[in-house]
Chains A and B, each alone.
Chain A
Amino acid sequence: MKVRLRSLGSLAPAADVEHLLRGLPWPLSGQDEGPLEIDSTPCVDVVRGQLDAACLLQRLPSPPAGEALLVLTGHDLFLPALTHVFGASLLGHRRGVLSWCRLQLAPTPDPGLGRRMLIEATHELGHALGLVHCPVTHCAMHRTLWPEGIELKQPDYCPICRDLLRRLVQ
């Protein structure tokens, strides 16, 4: 499954994006496609100073058949009910968005940022391809609510999620 990686707004550190592209697990294969040209202004909540992830997902173009789209952004994302989210996806619609805003725990260069981005990108792409959250704590599809918790996961799917993903992709 080819993953088109697009950026929105300021660019993520190149080394971390490189780490993400190299580390995506089977059956994902990433390719950097450069900045995404869409007008995200209607999705900006000026009062909260954040970007509405649900609104943004609706505005993303549909990827070609057999491909998935992941947008990387430095904007802080939120959903109307929640203060923030690390990322969001349209379940099974092969579209997702990931913010590194809250994944950065130390000033640039944050040595752990690349790994956290890779794990959460794997997570959001899993949703985009139809996977739901997984109770296995080291699986990339396990839900984490705080950035430190991401460190407990692996940038890969557990055998059950991988098997599900294989059938979804086929």
Chain B
Amino acid sequence: MRSSLAAWFRDEGYVVSTAAGGKQALEQLTGDGADILLVDVKMPGMDGLELQRRVYELHPGGASRPTVIIMTAYAAVETAVQALKEGAYDYIVKPFDPEQLSRLVRKAAERYTLLSENQALKQRIEAAAPHLITSGQGGMGRVFEQLEQVAPTETSVLVTGESGTGKELLARLLHARSGRRFGPMVVVNCGALAQGVLESELFGHERGAFTGAVGRHRGKLELAHDGTLFLDEIGDVPPKVQVDLLRVLEERVLTRVGGNTSVPANFRLITATHCDLGQMVERGEFRQDLYFRINVFCIELPPLRQRPEDIPLLAQHFLALFNAQTNRRIEGFSAGAMASLCNHDWPGNVRELQNAIERAVVMCRGAQIEQEHFPFTAATPDLSLSAMEQAHIRRVLAACEHNVSLAARTLGIDRVTLYNKMKKFGIDRP
């Protein structure tokens, strides 16, 4: 029977190997492995159930675990049922109906392929997770700590920071390191949409809810089910939508615009803003209850000027990125170009730096990027020792959040000397 079945499956296009008993099968499995095992219940030495247990010990889970199909005589169906309880995919009673046998093995093969693809996709998702480019010093070290703490939880996170500091990237990192990473991540820029459109975008609408609603539309909140919803520029959400959003966050169900049925909405909320939401609450521009809901855990991204040590790292990263995109081989930055980058204030933060490097890569015709490739270096930078000293003190003070004692310790001078230098360079405490 073994050889006739082997011939049968070879004809179907499968790669087949046979074993006379459980022990021999195990030896073969540790060598070549197999995707599908067709196992007889009664075998000399080791029965089919025991073989299945041993195989599952070798492969406790995952796509590499072979799919077991039990072959049994009609009288031993109870044993086959036991095998099913222990994890077998299915069983088939001897003698086999050719059609049934073919269908069963084809389905098992399809299942195995799906499991393998699923695992491969998960690995690709893990590998494609974004990462922050930073030395980890100063304020970014704290951001990393907070990220590690809060990412695996279900806590709502509010990300604050100036425009261009990487709030969406941080949100994607939070999603990628959470248990919901294989679910969807839905991004909505609340600042870019008018109230009516935002309402429909977030909550969806039923057919005929308003003029132009020709069909049912699932909202972003619904699409984020079992995943993460990232609401960028939450400070721009109008009061009416704030109320509706709060209700969804409290009840975890939503109702589409123009609808009357409740739809489950299980998502993790990450919000971001460049505004001071606390002040907006005080001015009555943002609901306090919603603020408390979204601000369970707050991560503040420092502006680029407060972490100048990251500028060379980011510049190299963007250079490599744009080299790859434009098929160029620019080796690096001249000393003057790098000094220009480090001395610039970067009001547009990382986004501005990225754009500056992209432009420089387009402009550059040599082996390295020079000062003149940046638009802000039209004027020759002041490279005097005094100017460098002043810039360095400003940077350290900013990194230390203007704590003079801490800045003095960082600079390796005493507090009085630092005060004198601040007075000399006209640096005021904020």
Interface, chain A (partner B; CB < 8 A)? 48, 54, 78-85, 132-133, 135, 143, 145-146
Contacts and interface: CB of A to CB of B under 8 A. Distances in A.
Nearest to B3: A81
26 contacts: A48-B95, A54-B4, A78-B95, A79-B4, A80-B1, A80-B95, A81-B5, A81-B94, A81-B95, A81-B96, A82-B95, A82-B96, A82-B97, A82-B101, A83-B95, A84-B97, A84-B98, A85-B98, A132-B11, A133-B12, A135-B13, A143-B11, A143-B12, A145-B98, A145-B99, A145-B102
B74 interface: no
Contacts of A133: 11-12
Contacts of A54: 4
Interface residues on B, range: 10 to 19
Given A81-B5, A82-B8, A83-B95, 18 more contacts: A79-B4, A80-B1, A81-B4, A81-B94, A81-B95, A82-B95, A82-B97, A82-B98, A82-B101, A83-B96, A83-B97, A84-B98, A132-B11, A133-B11, A133-B12, A143-B11, A143-B12, A145-B102
Interface string B90-128: 000011111101100000000000000000000000000
Contacts of A78: 95
A9 B98 CA distance: 25
Contacts of A83: 95-98
Q: Which of A85, A132, A143 counts the most chain B CB atoms within 10 A?
A: A143
A145 B96 CA distance: 12
Nearest to B99: A145
Q: Which are the 10 A-B pairs with shortest beta-carbon distances? A: A145-B99, A81-B1, A133-B11, A145-B98, A83-B97, A83-B95, A81-B5, A81-B4, A80-B1, A82-B98
A154 to B, nearest CB: 20
B292 to A, nearest CB: 65
Nearest to B5: A81
Q: Which of B8, B12, B102 counts the most chain A CB atoms within 10 A?
A: B8
A85 B11 CA distance: 15
Interface string B12-23: 110000000000
A127 B12 CA distance: 15
A132 B10 CA distance: 10
A85 B96 CA distance: 11
Nearest to A84: B98
Contacts of B8: 81-82
Nearest to B96: A82
Q: Which of A48, A83, A132 counts the most chain B CB atoms within 10 A?
A: A83
Nearest to B102: A145
Q: Which of A48, A79, A82, A85 counts the most chain B CB atoms within 10 A?
A: A82
Contacts of B13: 135
Contacts of B97: 82-84
A135 B8 CA distance: 14
Contacts of A132: 11
Q: Which of B12, B98, B101, B102 counts the most chain A CB atoms within 10 A?
A: B98
Contacts of B12: 133, 143
A72 to B, nearest CB: 21
Nearest to B1: A81
Nearest to A54: B4
Contacts of B4: 54, 79-82
A17 B12 CA distance: 30
A97 to B, nearest CB: 15
Contacts of B101: 82
B18 to A, nearest CB: 12
B15 to A, nearest CB: 15
Contacts of B11: 132-133, 143
